[in-house]
Amino acid sequence: MWDFVIWTCALGAVHCGTVATPDAATIQSAYEREAASGSSLHDKGLRVIEATCNVSADDQYFCQVTFLSNDDPRQQLYFDVVSVVRKGHELQLRSGLCRR
């Protein structure tokens, strides 16, 4: 029985009582939400390429991210550590990824 439940959760990406660790896509979404609110510290062309986050028990994560700016003609990769916190079903960026 439990094998079926675990298999179903894994196969269907069903929420089974665990919260997913943030990834590049969720950090990008959090960044874009903050940029949309009119903050002048955000680079509208920033793209998060990769993210590795710690596992957190209190809904706060520290993530090492690799990103680039579409406005950079060299397409140089940059690295940063960001802090994100879960607020309901969304992530909120606390620090990191500010305009260079």
pLDDT (tens place) for every residue of the chain, 100 residues total = 555 545 455 554 445 556 688 999 999 998 888 878 776 667 778 899 999 999 777 889 999 999 998 888 998 999 999 999 988 888 888 888 764 4
In a domain, 74, yes or no: yes
Total count of domains within the chain: 1
In a domain, 4, yes or no: no
| Residue 49 φ/ψ, nearest 5 degrees | -95, -40
Domain hosting residue 55, numbered range: 17-95
In a domain, 3, yes or no: no
In a domain, 34, yes or no: yes
- The rounded distance, in Å, linking the Cα atoms of 69 and 6 is 39
pTM for this one? 0.72
| Residue 26 φ/ψ, nearest 5 degrees | -70, -35
| Residue 52 φ/ψ, nearest 5 degrees | -125, 120
Helices (H), the chain: 2-12, 24-36
